[in-house]
Amino acid sequence: MQRAFLIERHLISPEFMRDQNASGLYISPDEKIAIMVNEEDHVRIQSMSSGLSLMDTLNRAMRIDDDLANSLEFDYDTDFGFLTSCPTNVGTGLRASILIHLAGLVLTKEIDSVIDHINKLGLVVRGFYGEGTDVWGNLFQISNQTTLGRSELDITESLEKITRQIIEFENKSRDRLLTEARDEIADKICRAYGILRHARVLTSEEVMNLLSAVRLGAALKILDMVPIATVNKLLILSQPAHLQRYMGVELSPGDRDIARAKLVRDTLAELP
């Protein structure tokens, strides 16, 4: 359960959890840095931050990379750059990603065209837990597809620029929802809130999709009583390993669904 908990916090990869060979892991106290040893590559440095602070996040990782380079000899080719297990990481070896909530674009059915636009710009769109995972709760992970021939700065600045464009698309889609379908979107949001307030059984996927609607409602001021911070907290605590850690006991899938519903009910009931 401990490894599943770390995956849910995006501190290790599913590959790292499955690997039974000798491996190591360092996590900083604030969880902004995680270093995996013998994952897909010998060393993987991960730097995370909330908000769109990509340059600060990159600089933190680069400082650690420089420190490690003083004592380790990384496999580097003058033509290709850093040599990695995965060909798409050859070059700088940098994978820059953002996690973003795009409920408006999903509801206006514009998400496919936006994803197509993103792909044409050399980015890839994945699910909540990264490669090979589904999109739950309208949370999309967007990252660069290749690193060869581009600097770390170029990759990061490009991702930030495109992310700001996506945020603009999302905001415009939300404005259209309020202008053209306010009653319908308000009904969807309030129904989701009603289910969360009274449901006795909630699966992981169901709670994320319902919380996505409530999060949108909070952002649009349709649900003024629900802070976005509370929704974010529930999105995290509702994950299977987080839920069991919060409850202090291992639970069967069925019992988790019951406990998850109670957690959500109790949390929303405490709101003023």
Quick one: 138 and 174 in the same domain? Answer: yes
In a domain, 112, yes or no: yes
* Domain encompassing residue 2: 1-74
Position 256 in a domain: yes
Q: Does residue 86 lie within any of the structural domains?
A: no
Does residue 251 have a pLDDT over 80?
yes
Residue 126 belongs to some domain of the structure: yes
Instruction: Give the pLDDT confidence of 63-107 residue by residue, as tens digits.
Output: 999 999 899 888 877 878 788 888 888 888 889 999 999 999 999
Q: Which residues contact 117 (CB under 8 A, 6 or more apart)?
A: none
Indicate the number of domains in the chain: 3
Q: Is residue 23 part of a domain?
A: yes
| Over residues 205-209, mean pLDDT | 96
Work out the angle at residue 161's Cα, subtended by the Cα atoms of residues 155 and 162, and round it to the nearest 5 degrees.
90
Please state whether beta strands 139-144 and 97-101 pair in parallel, antiparallel, or not at all (unpaired).
antiparallel
Q: Is residue 88 part of a domain?
A: no
- What is the per-residue pLDDT across 159-185, written as a single tens digit (0 to 9) for each? 999 999 999 999 999 999 999 999 999
91 versus 217: the higher-pLDDT residue is 217
Q: What confidence tens digit (pLDDT) does each residue in 122-147 have?
A: 999 998 877 667 889 999 999 998 88
In the three-class reduction of DSSP (H, G, I as helix; E, B as strand; rest coil), residue 127 is classed as strand
185 and 265 belong to one structural domain: yes
**Which band of pLDDT confidence, cut at 50, 70 and 90, is reported for residue 20?**
low
CA–CA separation, 51 and 5 (whole Å):
22
